Amino acid sequence: MNDAAVSRDTRSEVGLSAPAGRPTIGVLALQGDVREHVGVLDLCGADPVLVRRPAELAAVDALVLPGGESTTISKLLQVFELLEPLRARLRDGMPAFGSCAGMILLAGEVLDTRPDAQHLSGIDMTVRRNAFGRQVDSFETDLDFAGVDGGPMRAVFIRAPWVERAGAGVEVLARVPSGPAAGKIVAVRQGNVLATSFHPEVTGDHRVHRMFVDLVRDR
């Protein structure tokens, strides 16, 4: 982790506040591509901090759930006693953004997962885990993404899920444009909670993170 991220994490541990105008956004730091989200959030005007303990979760304005291995993260949420505090904060309206594995964790129902895997029910949706196939089936494509300007967005899919069902209160933000998976839902929003099945933190296109930071700041 770079020095700036370490200093932000240290500041959160000792109880110092974020710079004025910069919301404090946690990144769940149990497993997955944590570093990438920290860097992009900083560039988008947030003060990112690492979250591994309930006290750190309680101190943030919002949370990012990164890509990684969803069943592993769900186990670690229990080990670190974060599962129920996180569910409670989501019920209370905390903004959250999940990418790939984070989308799976935020779902109300998950298909093709382990029977002991936990999820957070942050969005009224059914997600199919590893829907696009194995690691060798990873791919990139351009997506039209509702709510952002600047034209199509490059999206990277790595052992990605897709949304099988989106509830009545869920806004569909992006679908696969072509190919065998054409029309499959890959980005959604419900209230303060946003999820993508792709990895916007790795492409250099910061528009999804900027949307999320603006959402947190407006709230």
Check if 199 is active-site: yes
C-alpha 3/C-alpha 22 separation (Å) is 19
Check if 44 is active-site: no
Query: What contacts 207, CB < 8 A, 6 or more positions away?
Result: 145, 148, 149, 150, 153, 200
Kindly report the length of the chain: 219
Query: What contacts 162, CB < 8 A, 6 or more positions away?
Result: 127, 128, 131, 132, 176, 181, 184, 185, 186, 197
Contact (Cβ atoms closer than 8 angstroms) between residue 202 and residue 156: yes
* H or E stretch covering 11: helix 3-14
Check if 81 is active-site: no
Choosing from 36, 37, 44, 100, the catalytic residue is 100
Choosing from 37, 119, 199, 209, the catalytic residue is 199
Catalytic sites, residue numbers: 100, 199, 201
